[in-house]
C-alpha cells in the first residue's frame, strides 16, 4: 500500500479526533456553572430529603438524554440552562453538584448547583424541609474551585474560570412564592417586614453572594430577574382569577425586585474590575409568551399541562396521578409553577441571540466570546 496514502489516512484520523465536541456554533463554551432554583435544577434535589422533587413521572417525558425518564428537572424536557449550554457548545450538560458522577474531569464542563425550593434567603423554602439556598450553592462552588486547581493547576484553572466559563444565576422567585407570600399566619416574612425591607434584604444578600463568586474568579455572569409569578397556574388557581388575569401583588413584588436588581448589576459592573454582569429580562420574555401565546403556536398560557386542581390544574404538582395534556408543545406551562420545554426553547433563543430588550448589555453568545 502507498505510504503517502497511509500518511493521509493518519492525518485524517487525527483531524477527526480533534474536532470540537461542542453542539453549538463551533466556538465551544468551556464550563457552565449554574446556580438557582427549580427552574434550572438538573437533579440536586434527588439527593436531598425534601418535599420538593421532580424525579417522578411524567417529569422528563421529553428529555431525550434520559430516554424520557425523570432526572429531577422540573419540566417535561430541557431547562433553559440545558438549552443554553447546548447552543453555546458545551459538550455535555452540567451535572448536579450532589451527583456521585460530578467528579474528576466531568466538572470541566461545569456544574449545576441549583435546587428546587432554594432562594437568596436561607429561610426561603423551609416548607419543603431540604433545599440548597444560594449561600450554600456558593459554598459548593468553592469546593469545585479547589477541585479545578487540582485538575488544571492553579494558573490554568484561574484562566479557565475567568475566561472560558459562564456563571448563570436564576433565583429569587421562591423568596416571594415560598417565603414572603406565604399566608401571614404561616411562616412568611410578611409578618415582620414591609415589601421595601424584604427587597432590600434580598438585594443585600445577593450582592454578597455574587461578590463571593467574583472573589473565586468568576467574571462572566448572567443573572435572571424574577418572572411574572402572579401569572403561574398555581397563583391564578389559589387566587381565583380569570384565564386572562394575573395576580397583582406577586407581579408588583417581582417588578420591585427587578428594578433593584438592575441597579445592583450596574453597581457591580462599575465596582468589580474585569467582571461583566448581564441581566436576563425573564419577566418580559415570559410575559410576552403569556400575552401573545397564540402567536408562538401555543394553545394555552394559563393552564398547566401536567397538574390537578382548579380551573388551571394549578394546585397539585405534576406526578403519576396528574392529568396530562394531549400535546405538551402547545402549553406555556408544564406544571403549576414551571415552563414547558417548548417555552424554554423560545426564551433560551432570545437570551442567546436576542437584543437588549431581552438581555443587556449583551446577549449570551456575545458574553461567551468576550
Tell me the average pLDDT of the chain. 91
168 carries an active-site annotation? no
pLDDT value at residue 188 = 53
Distance CA 121, CA 77 (A): 28
Residue owning grid cell 422533587: 53
pLDDT (tens digit, 9 = 90+) per residue, 245-268?
999 999 999 999 999 999 999 999
CB 167 within 8 A of CB 173: no
- Please state the domain count of the chain: 1
Residue 223 domain-assigned (yes or no): yes
Query: Does residue 19 have a pLDDT over 60?
Result: no
Among 38, 165, 168, 340, the active-site one is: 38
Q: Give the domain extent around 120.
A: 26-283
Residue 315 domain-assigned (yes or no): no
Residue 78 domain-assigned (yes or no): yes
Residue 364 domain-assigned (yes or no): no
38 carries an active-site annotation? yes
Among 62, 115, 175, 338, the active-site one is: 338
Backbone angles phi, psi at 142, to 5 degrees: -60, -35
Over its C-alpha atoms, the chain yields an Rg (Å, rounded) of 21
Residue 231 domain-assigned (yes or no): yes
Backbone angles phi, psi at 51, to 5 degrees: -85, -10
pTM of the model: 0.92
Query: Does residue 241 have a pLDDT over 70?
Result: yes
Long-range contacts of 188-191 (CB under 8 A, 24+ apart): 189/121, 189/123
pLDDT value at residue 110 = 96
CATH of the domain at 271: 3.40.50
Distance CA 335, CA 316 (A): 9
Distance CA 332, CA 346 (A): 10
pLDDT (tens digit, 9 = 90+) per residue, 192-205?
789 999 999 999 99
Residue 356 domain-assigned (yes or no): no
335 carries an active-site annotation? yes
Write out the H or E segment, with its range, that includes residue 323: strand 323-324
Residue owning grid cell 432562594: 119
Residue 295 domain-assigned (yes or no): no
Distance CA 249, CA 324 (A): 29
What is the average per-residue pLDDT within 142-162?
98
- Pairing state between β 165-170 and 31-36: parallel
- Better-scored residue on pLDDT, 182 or 348: 348
pLDDT (tens digit, 9 = 90+) per residue, 181-236?
987 545 556 667 899 999 999 999 999 999 999 999 999 999 999 999 999 999 99
**pLDDT band with cut points at 50, 70 and 90 for residue 3:** very low
Among 41, 300, 335, 358, the active-site one is: 335
Residue 93 domain-assigned (yes or no): yes
**pLDDT band with cut points at 50, 70 and 90 for residue 28:** confident
Strand ranges for 98-235 from DSSP E: 110-112, 165-170, 220-224
Residues in the chain: 370
Amino acid at each position: 500500500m502507498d505510504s503517502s496514502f497511509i500518511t493521509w489516512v493518519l492525518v485524517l484520523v487525527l483531524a477527526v479526533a480533534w474536532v470540537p465536541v461542542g453542539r453549538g456554533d463551533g466556538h465551544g463554551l468551556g464550563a457552565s456553572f449554574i446556580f438557582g432554583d427549580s427552574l434550572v435544577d438538573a437533579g440536586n434535589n434527588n439527593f436531598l430529603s425534601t418535599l420538593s422533587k421532580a424525579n417522578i413521572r411524567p417529569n422528563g417525558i421529553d428529555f431525550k438524554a434520559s430516554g424520557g425518564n425523570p432526572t429531577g428537572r422540573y419540566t417535561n424536557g430541557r431547562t433553559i440552562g440545558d438549552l443554553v449550554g447546548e447552543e453555546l457548545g458545551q459538550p455535555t450538560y452540567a451535572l448536579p453538584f450532589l451527583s456521585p458522577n460530578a467528579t474528576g474531569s466531568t466538572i470541566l464542563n461545569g456544574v449545576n448547583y441549583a435546587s428546587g425550593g432554594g432562594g437568596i434567603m436561607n429561610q426561603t423554602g423551609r416548607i419543603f424541609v431540604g433545599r440548597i439556598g444560594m449561600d450554600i450553592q456558593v459554598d459548593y462552588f468553592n469546593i469545585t474551585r479547589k477541585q479545578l486547581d487540582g485538575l488544571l493547576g492553579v494558573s490554568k484553572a484561574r484562566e479557565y474560570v475567568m475566561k472560558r466559563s459562564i456563571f448563570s444565576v436564576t433565583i429569587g422567585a421562591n423568596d416571594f412564592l415560598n417565603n414572603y407570600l406565604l399566608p401571614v399566619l404561616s411562616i412568611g416574612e410578611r409578618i415582620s417586614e414591609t415589601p421595601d425591607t424584604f427587597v432590600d434584604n434580598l438585594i443585600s444578600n445577593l450582592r454578597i453572594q455574587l461578590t463571593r463568586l467574583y472573589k473565586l474568579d468568576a467574571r462572566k455572569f448572567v443573572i435572571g430577574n424574577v418572572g411574572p409569578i402572579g401569572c403561574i397556574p398555581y397563583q391564578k388557581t389559589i387566587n381565583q382569577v380569570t384565564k386572562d388575569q394575573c395576580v397583582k401583588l406577586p407581579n408588583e413584588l417581582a417588578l420591585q425586585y427587578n428594578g433593584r436588581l438592575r441597579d445592583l448589576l450596574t453597581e457591580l459592573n462599575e465596582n468589580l474590575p474585569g467582571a461583566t454582569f448581564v441581566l436576563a429580562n425573564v419577566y418580559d420574555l415570559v410575559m410576552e409568551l403569556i400575552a401573545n401565546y397564540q402567536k408562538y403556536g401555543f394553545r394555552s398560557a394559563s393552564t398547566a399541562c401536567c397538574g390537578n386542581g382548579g380551573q388551571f390544574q394549578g394546585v397539585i404538582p405534576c406526578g403519576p396521578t396528574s392529568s396530562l395534556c394531549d400535546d405538551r408543545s402547545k402549553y406555556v406551562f408544564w406544571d403549576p409553577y414551571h415552563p414547558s420545554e417548548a417555552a424554554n426553547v423560545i426564551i433560551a433563543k432570545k437570551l442567546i441571540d436576542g437584543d437588549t430588550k431581552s438581555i443587556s448589555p449583551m446577549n449570551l453568545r456575545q458574553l461567551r466570546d468576550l
